[in-house]
Structure 1
Amino acid sequence: MLAALAEFIHSMGIFNLTLGHILMIGIACLLIYLAIVKGFEPLLLIPIAFGVLLTNLPLADMMAEPIIEIKDKVIHTVQPGGLMYYLFQGDHLGIFPPLIFLGVGAMTDFGPLIANPKSLLLGAAAQFGIFITFLAAIGSGLFTAQEAASIGIIGGADGPTAIFLSSRLAPHLLGSIAIAAYSYMAMVPIIQPPIMRLLTTKEERAIKMTQLREVSKKERILFPILVTIVVALIVPPATTLIGMLMIGNLFRECGVAGRLEDTAKNALINTITIFLGLSVGATATAENFLRVETLAILFLGVTAFAIGTAAGVLLAKLMNKVMGGGINPLIGSAGVSAVPMAARVSQVVGQKENPSNFLLMHAMGPNVAGVIGSAVAAGILLSLFK
């Protein structure tokens, strides 16, 4: 009896708790606090943080791989894996991020981009941070080309794209990259305004833009079809993300698939968000996360985000001068694909200079272009380093 009791006591997690476990549990609790109290991307940060908590509870084996044996050419499961291990297969096999894009497409209005195609240039400029950070990560000597590509994509401010690319190129960094990507997405209202004000004058921030033209239903239907064809023919590896984004948008715009649109933008995306967040967070074990490389990822991630923001603003300034005015440079910052938060930041900063200024719809053009741009950038990096 005493032996059984002693064995039970030693099987308790508390007797296997290490300093690494304690630190990671603290990080998980901090992320939960930021999500609930500060409102930092709660829909994703809460499941990610709880995934971090679950995977760092000793002996819980939430990410344990199954133990199998083969007898007479038949596979037998000796011991099943942990729940998070099975959910993680949706990330590892590249299933969850494209399904998130499907829901995003069903929720996204590409009308501002169609009405002002020049916005595509601003979305492309904001991806500049991805490639600069990619080079910086390689130059640091800490990362391989595949790891550097996965880190650079944080600059696109698109969590699903970052997860999709890192799951293919650097799955061991997935937890660190996902936490960095979603943390910086949540801090868009903190990170972007100082950069925007630094690179623009008071007069530029007060520029009022003319109302966008009305976009026809025919244009809205043709847009997702044509974008899918063009992107797939130029950058085939981007087809998975772009294709799911655009079919979701086609559900929205065609007018005859209301049930599919509703499922994609509500039930489906909410379910996948839970699974994605939990399983990604579960990869952030103490062994994978508490390393010098993680600090480098966090630093390079915010650098990528800042460079992307600055590149968008500077190109918008140039376009304003070349085209004789009428373009508020603040909308360039929305080229990072944190939809719609980055566009709202452009609106808020612009209204502080001119209360009658309404930049939201103008900023939505670069914002949704950034979603396309980050997916294309991921496709380019995937084709180069897979």
Structure 2
Amino acid sequence: MLNMLNEFWLSTGFSVVSYKQVIMIFVSFTFLYLAIKKGYEPYLLIPISFGMLLVNLPKTNLMSGDGLLHYLYMGTKFGIYPPLIFLCVGASTDFGPLIANPKSILLGAAAQFGIFFAFIGAILLGFSGAQAAAIGIIGGADGPTAIYLTSKLAKDLLGPIALAAYSYMALVPIIQPPIIKLLTTKEERQVKMEQLRPVSKTEKIVFPIVVATFTILLLPSSAPLIGMLMFGNLIKESDVVPKLVETAQNSMMYIITIILGLTVGAKAEADIVLSVQTMGIILLGLTAFSIGTASGVLMGKLMYRVSGKKINPMIGAAGVSAVPMSARVVQKMGAQENPSNFLLMHAMGPNVAGVIGSAVAAGILLNIFK
């Protein structure tokens, strides 16, 4: 009887669980709490945190050679899921605010400064150029772009970079507000912006075609991301393939999000995450994302001055690529400061510009280091 009990005990995960795994299990519990109780981007954070939980439970073998999550992870590893996510984002996003206010491009461009800051920081810490490029892209707060670039340049860092990028995307509501408040005055946060001009259907159809053609001719390496983003937007604005649009906006988006979230979380194995290298990458990513937010807000403050106080500088924070999370943060903060304020559409301009900007930055880095 004692032998049977001993054999049963040895077959359980309790008999071999390490302190590092226990730490990661509690980290996953914390993320689940933030997602479910606090509502912090639950569509991203629940799959990521549950994948993190599963992979750190001993003896599951989910990420081993014949494990379920190992096979699902192949789409992440080979850069298949990110362009598909971009297609879904394009089909779900109105580019009208960017077309109506082209100056938003400046805010999106400014918010990409964090990418190059992290790149330089990674070089100084001893990472190779290709590895530093992959780490730097975390600063754009664009998980799909980070995964895609890393899968091409630094496969060995895919786990920690994917985890960092998606974690920061999900934690936008925690990270951005303190930075925005630190860099803006109450008067600036209360600025009520005028309604954007109407954008014609012709403009909306022509825009993705022109952007895809010009950008891909300039940077062929950006074709998978920019091409899918603009294709998704084109089918949305064409109004002739509603079933394709409905599929991309709903079932396709949610299926890929579930698989991508679970597999990203499943790369958060205790021995990998709780290492000096991974912690350095996570800290660099956080710093880069914070600087990207700050540089976007500072550009917003400059535009606030130049425009005669007509632009709310908070919309610069939406220049990072976390669509639509950062735009929602700006909208929420604007409504708190001035209940009659509606900044969402104004923030979507730099938000869309940030998505395009991060994809272009990835294309540039890919051209240099591939």
CA distance in 2, matches of 1:47, 1:345: 22
Instruction: Determine if the alignment matches structure 1 residue 82 to structure 2 residue 82.
Output: no
Q: Tell me, in whole angstroms, the C-alpha distance in 1 between the residues paired with 2:307 and 2:211.
A: 26
- In the alignment, the residues of structure 2 paired with residue 279 and residue 228 of structure 1 have an alpha-carbon distance, to the nearest angstrom, of 30
Q: Which runs of 5+ in 2 are unaligned?
A: none
CA contact (8 A) 1:146 1:170 kept: yes
Aligned to 1:294: 278
What is the CA–CA distance in structure 1 between the aligned matches of 2:80 and 2:71, rounded to whole Å? 13
CA contact (8 A) 2:273 2:279 kept: no
Q: Is the 8 A contact 1:313 1:330 kept in 2?
A: yes
- Which of these residues, 225, 237, 241, is aligned with residue 257 of structure 1? 241
- The aligned counterpart of 1:96 is 81
Task: Report if the CA contact (8 A) 2:77-2:155 is conserved.
Answer: yes
> Residues of 2 paired with 1:171 and 1:53: CA distance?
23
The 3 A distance-change label for structure 1 pair 218 and 33 is: same
Verify the 8 A CA contact 1:92 1:168 in the aligned structure 2: no
Greater alpha carbon shift after TM alignment, 169-178 vs 239-248 = 169-178
> What is the CA distance between 1:364 and its match in structure 2?
1.1
Moved more, 81-90 or 23-32: 23-32
- Aligned residue-pair number: 370
Q: Distance in 1 between matches of 2:343 and 2:23?
A: 43
Map of 1:188 onto structure 2: 172
Dislocated runs of 4+, deviation >4 Å: 1-9
**How far is the alpha carbon of 1:164 from its aligned partner?**
1.7
The alpha-carbon deviation at position 323 of structure 1 amounts to 4.3
1:207-240 Cα offsets, whole Å, 9 max, x none, are 3322211111111111111111111111222110
More displaced 10-residue stretch of structure 1: 190-199 or 240-249: 190-199
What whole-Å deviation, never above 9, does each CA across 1:285-306 have from its counterpart, x for those lacking one?
2221110122222221221111
Q: C-alpha deviations, 1:66-88, integer Å up to 9, x for none?
A: xxxxxxxxxxxxxxx11111111
Q: What is the CA–CA distance in structure 2 between the aligned matches of 1:243 and 1:353, rounded to whole Å? A: 39
Q: Could you report, residue by residue, the CA deviation over 1:107-131 in whole angstroms, capped at 9, with x for unpaired residues?
A: 1000000111111111111001111
Alignment-derived partner of residue 132 in structure 2: 148
Cα deviations by residue, 1:91-117 (Å, 9 ceiling, x for unpaired) = 111111111111111110000001111
The aligned residue for residue 349 of structure 2 is: 365
1:350 aligns with 2:334: yes
Q: Distance in 2 between matches of 1:56 and 1:338?
A: 28
Q: Counterpart of 1:248? A: 232
Distance 1:221 1:297, change over 3 A: same
Mapped to 1, the partners of 2:212 and 2:234 lie a distance apart of: 11
Report the CA distance shift for 1:280/1:355 in structure 2 as closer, same or farther (over 3 A): closer
Q: Is the 8 A contact 1:48 1:282 kept in 2?
A: yes
The answer for the alignment partner of 2:16 in structure 1 is: 16
User: Partners in 2 of 1:92 and 1:196 — Cα distance?
Assistant: 35
Structure 1: state its 5+ residue gaps: 66-80
Taking every aligned residue pair, what percent have the same amino acid on both sides? 63
What secondary structure is seen at the aligned counterpart in 2 of 1:209? coil
| Structure 2 match to 1:61 | 61
Mapped contact 1:174–1:280 kept (Cα < 8 A): no
Matched, 1:303 2:287: yes
8 Å CA contact 1:313–1:332 kept in 2: the answer is yes
What secondary structure, in the 3-state scheme, does the structure 2 residue paired with 1:43 have?
helix
SS at match of 2:194: coil
- Counterpart of 2:106 in structure 1 is 121
Paired residues of 2:44 and 2:170 also in contact (CA < 8 A)? no
CA contact (8 A) 1:41 1:182 kept: no
Contact conserved, 1:173 with 1:288, CA < 8 A, in 2? no
Find the counterpart in structure 1 of residue 36 from structure 2.
36
- The amino acid of 2:67's aligned partner reads G
Letter of the 2:303 partner, please give it.
Answer: M
Matched, 1:112 2:97: yes
CA contact (8 A) 1:157 1:181 kept: yes
* Structure 2 residue aligned with 1:167: 151
Paired with 1:361 and 1:268, the residues of 2 have a C-alpha distance of 25
Provide the residue aligned with 1:77 in structure 2.
Answer: none
What's the counterpart of residue 76 of structure 1?
A: none
User: Given residue 42 of structure 2, which amino acid in structure 1 is its aligned partner?
Assistant: P
Q: Is the 8 A contact 2:77 2:158 kept in 1?
A: no
Residue 342 of structure 1 aligns to a residue in which SS? helix
Q: Is the Cα–Cα contact under 8 Å of residues 172 and 288 in structure 1 kept in the other structure?
A: no
Q: Which residues of 2 match residues 125-136 of structure 1 at below 5 A?
A: 125-136=110-121
